[in-house]
Amino acid sequence: MTDSIGKKLRIAVILGTRPEYLKLAPVVAELAKFRDSVATEMVFTGQHRELLVGLAELFELGPSRQLAVNNQRPNLPGLTSALINALDGEFWREKYDAVVVQGDTTTAFCAALTAFYHRIPVAHVEAGLRTGNLEEPFPEELNRQLIGRIARWNFVPTAAAHQNLTDERVPEVAIELTGNTIIDTLHFVRERKIPADYEAALLNEEAPELGQALQYFRASHGKSLSLLTIHRRENHGQKLDAFFGMMRDLAARHPDHHLIYPYHLNPEVKLKAFQFMSEINNIHLIPPLSYRPFLHLMGQVDFAMSDSGGLQEEFPTFGKPLLVLRDVTERPEVVAAHMGKLVGVDPHVVFPAASELIACAQSGARPSWFHFGPNPFGDGHASERIVARILLDLQRNQPI
């Protein structure tokens, strides 16, 4: 796996947000098995610098390179231009044989576009997801579609994602079904990083607010527990006001039910969460969680409500119901498998759906729409398939 004069292949793995790190860490770990013939650089753009705290220690994979992204205009155009400028300099200085990006972030799109300009082949991890609506999720739907036109390798997590790319006339040789790398990550952390007495570590150091919330829930003899995450742009504004008002009413209607919300750092979301819910005894607003305590929390709750794409992939592993707080999803597999239910954020829809799950959790019943089965997003070996294909093609210098 070296070039014609015996040099190592150089592969850049680009990441800028927490989901990218979580989903690319197992790819980097797999590439590390070939360190004698492959030099891998984790290039961190800093798009969400504060959300990456603790991940390097958890996976023992620190970013190799950190770019100085100067985003003087804190908006999407400003971020896009700043990322492209920083990545352009990186790709001029460093001669990479391939660039790996993940998902639909602004970092992933800018890295793919800049690599294309430099004629560096792009591997797109988690390719092919579509809603068909450029407004939901915004701007992620467009980002993912554009990366799909650029990528030499489209690593799709499911058969539905494969079909999406086939329908868009992406060459079959450029598509490979691998599963989703987040399942690789989830298995790694659950099996190796969460000890049996983990809640003591939460209280003492790792996530004391979560430890206190769980302790209070048990001390108050709560009968059921749920997880909430909500942050997407399309749910901001009046929708968010109405939703948080409904959550306050839900807590009043079901005083034996507790809800834990690791609030998002977006100023609007955080401010409104505290305005509507900070004085409610059975709603626990806690700071964002690092990955290990977040997985532990998913294991403790009876159900979850979320507009997060990542949680739609992870939560089926825990075999519990999920209310998807979106009108459309690019991950329809969770709904098709009857492990998640699309409810949007309309209070008239979410309130009865959540009340049903509370009643089921407290009675030990299973919701009529829910089915327990294997996670539709993968088996934990996606990274092995991805790395094998990239290295095989680079070794052969095989064109698309």
Identify which of 202, 126, 137 has the alpha carbon closest to the alpha carbon of residue 160: 126
What is the DSSP code (8-state) at residue 17?
S
Tally helices (H) and strands (E) across the chain.
Answer: 16, 13
Tokens representing residue 352 in the block: 């009865």
Note if the bond before 287 is cis, omega within 30 degrees: no
Instruction: Tell me whether residue 104 is one of the annotated catalytic residues.
Output: yes
Options 30, 41, 97, 140, the catalytic residue: 140
Instruction: Tell me whether residue 264 is one of the annotated catalytic residues.
Output: yes
Instruction: Tell me whether residue 126 is one of the annotated catalytic residues.
Output: yes
Rounded distance, CA 60 to CA 197, Å? 22
Tokens representing residue 71 in the block: 């985003």
Letter string b/e over residues 12-36, b meaning 16 or more CB atoms within 10 A of that residue's CB: bbbbbbbbbbbbbbbbbbbbeebee
SS3 assignment, position 227: strand
Side by side, the strands of the sheet bearing 340-342 are: 283-286, 257-262, 224-229, 303-306, 322-324, 340-342
Options 30, 41, 126, 199, the catalytic residue: 126
Residues 6+ apart with CB under 8 A from 191: none
Instruction: Tell me whether residue 168 is one of the annotated catalytic residues.
Output: no
Options 10, 187, 190, 233, the catalytic residue: 233
Options 18, 162, 231, 292, the catalytic residue: 231
DSSP letters, 248-317, are HHHHHH-TTEEEEEE--S-HHHHHHHHHHHTT-TTEEEEPPPPHHHHHHHHHH-SEEEE--HHHHHHGGG
Options 97, 104, 330, 356, the catalytic residue: 104
Options 65, 248, 264, 389, the catalytic residue: 264
Rounded distance, CA 113 to CA 130, Å? 19
Rounded distance, CA 140 to CA 146, Å? 10
Residues 6+ apart with CB under 8 A from 397: none
Decide: 343 and 349 in contact? Cβ < 8 Å: yes
Note if the bond before 63 is cis, omega within 30 degrees: no
Instruction: Tell me whether residue 232 is one of the annotated catalytic residues.
Output: no
Instruction: Tell me whether residue 169 is one of the annotated catalytic residues.
Output: no
Q: Which residues are catalytic?
A: 104, 126, 140, 231, 233, 264
